[in-house]
Amino acid sequence: MSVQFPPSAAPRSAYPADVLPARLRRLLLHLASAGTPVSAYVYDGEVAAERARELRAALPEWAAVHYAVKANSFPGVVAALAPHVDGFEVASRAELDLALSARPTTDGARGEAATTRRTTPAPAGGTTGRSVPAPVEGTTGRSAPAPVVAAGPAKSPPFLAALIRARVEAINAESLLELHRISAIAVAEGVRARVTLRVNPASIPVTGSLRMGGVPSQFGVAEPDVPDVLRAAARLPGLDLVGFHVHAASGNLDADAHAAYLRWCVEWSARTAREHGVDLRLVDVGGGIGVAFEGEKPFDVARFGELAAQVEPPPGVKVLLEPGRYLVADCGWYAAEAIDVKTSYGTSYVLIRGGINHFQLPTSWDIVHNMAVLPVEDWPEDCPRPALTGTEVTVTGELCTPEDTLLRDVRVDRVRAGDIVVFPYAGSYGWEFAMHRFLGHPVAERHLL
C-alpha cells in the first residue's frame, strides 16, 4: 500500500508572517506565552459575514443563500453568518440543532437584503420587481417552515423524524425508500413534509471546472429513474414535493460556467415539473463555488450575479444555493507550534503539535496548502534551539504514521523549534474534517477573534 502525501510545494516559498492579520498574531503569541504548545484554529466571523453579504448582494431577488454547516460548524462562525444568509443546509442532527439555534430572523434577513440586493424583472407573464417568495405555510398552520434544508445520503429514520418535527423548509430526498420513510413519519406526525428530489443528471451541458453527472454515485436518483420515482412520490400521502435538488458542481472558479450551470438546473427543473405535474416552488442547485489558492484567479461574484440575473425561473420559484467552503475558507487559520525541527538524509522536517488529526485537508484533497511561520522569541535559556534557514522543509505532525504530512518542500527563510506554523484558508473542512481520535492526542482548540 502506497503512502498518501500532499503534492510537493516546490518551488513555492512560505508566506511572510505579515500576511497574518495583526490581531491573529497577537492572539497566537498570547497563547504561546501560556506555556502549553499552541495547537488551535482561529476564526474571524466578520470575514465570513462579509463574504456572505457580498454573495447575497450580487444575486437576484429570487435566489436564496443557505450556508452549508458541514464546512465549519463552530457556533461562533455560524452565529456570525446567521444575519447575512437566508438559512442553513444541514446533514446531521447536530447540524440541525445548531442551525435551529442560530437561524436568521426572516424579517431581519429580508430587511437587509431589500437594501442591498437588486430587484430583477419577472419573466414574461409574471409581476415586475418580485421578491423571494415567502416560505409556504405548513399544513399545521402554526408558522412558516424553518429556514433549513437537509441533504446527505443514508439519512436515518431518527434524523428524518427530527427534520420533520422541526418543519424544515425542505428535505432533499435521495431515494424512493427515503421518500417512503419521510411520508410514513410525516403521516404519523399529522403533517406533510416538504421534500425535493435529489437528481443525478445524465449530463450537464456546461464546460468548466464542474463535476459532470451521469456517473454511478450514492447521491441522488439517476435521471432515467426520475419519472418512476415521481409517480411513486405522488401517491405518498405524507409528502409535499416542492422541487428538485441538483448538486453536480464542485470547486468551480469560473463564474460564467457556474451561471450556466444554475441556468441549466432551473430550466431542467421547470421542464421536468411541467412534464410530471410537480408544483415547482424550489430549485436547489447545491454549492460548488470554488476557493482560489495561490496562483488561481478568484471566483468573480459580480459577474456571476450579472449572469444569474438573466435567468428567469417560473413565477414563485425560489432558487437556492448552498455555499459552504466559499463562505468560510478564508475566515480561519490553523496554527500549531513547531515542537522540533531536524534533517534526515537531506530532507528537513518541521514537526508540529498537531497534524492530520487536526487538519487533514491537504493530504485528503491532494492539494498544496501553504503556510506562514510566526516567530516566537521566548525560549528556555538552558535548552538548545534547533533552526532551519534558507531551505525547503516538510511539515509533519505528531502521529505515528508517515501520512501525517501537511506540506512538502516549501522554502522557508527561517523556522525554529517553538515558532508557530500557521495555515491560512483553514476555515472550511478543517477541524470538522480531521481524525481527532487517532492516537488520542488533545484536539485543537478553537478561538473566535
47-68 pLDDT per residue, tens: 999 999 999 999 999 999 999 9
User: Under DSSP, is residue 8 helix (H, G, I), strand (E, B) or coil?
Assistant: strand
> First CA to last CA across the chain, in angstroms?
42
120-139 pLDDT per residue, tens: 333 333 333 333 333 333 44
Please say if the pLDDT value at position 432 is more than 50: yes
Q: Is the dihedral of CA 362, 363, 365, 366 positive or negative?
A: positive
Please say if the pLDDT value at position 94 is more than 80: yes
Q: Cα dist. 264→204, 249, 270, 306, 443 in Å?
A: 8, 12, 10, 16, 43
257-282 pLDDT per residue, tens: 999 999 999 999 999 999 999 999 99
Element (H, E) at 75: helix 75-81
Give the residue among 252, 250, 191, 194 at the shortest CA–CA distance from 219.
250
To the question of domain 45-328 being in CATH 3.40.630.30, the answer is no
The pLDDT value given to residue 293: 84
This prediction has a pTM of 0.90
The pLDDT value given to residue 143: 63
Rounded to whole angstroms, how far apart are CA atoms 384 and 411?
Answer: 23
Element (H, E) at 191: none
Write out the three cell numbers for 262. Answer: 444554475
The answer to whether 213 and 285 are in contact (CB under 8 A) is no
The CATH class given to the 17-44+329-448 domain equals mainly beta
394-413 pLDDT per residue, tens: 999 999 999 999 999 999 99
Please say if the pLDDT value at position 337 is more than 80: yes
pLDDT: which is higher, 232 or 126: 232
Question: Per-residue confidence at 206, pLDDT binned at 50, 70, 90?
Answer: confident
The pLDDT value given to residue 1: 60
Please spell the DSSP secondary structure of 125-184, one letter per residue: TS-TT--PPPPPPPTT-SSPPEEEEE--SS--HHHHHHHHHHTEEEEEE-SHHHHHHHHH
Mean pLDDT for all residues in the chain: 90
Residue 144 dihedral angles phi and psi, to the nearest 5°: -70, 155
Question: Per-residue confidence at 212, pLDDT binned at 50, 70, 90?
Answer: low
The answer to whether 444 and 373 are in contact (CB under 8 A) is no
71-84 pLDDT per residue, tens: 999 999 999 999 99
Domain boundaries, the chain: 17-44+329-448, 45-328
Rounded to whole angstroms, how far apart are CA atoms 425 and 331?
Answer: 7
Please spell the DSSP secondary structure of 406-429, one letter per residue: EEEEEEEEEEETT-EEEESS-SSS
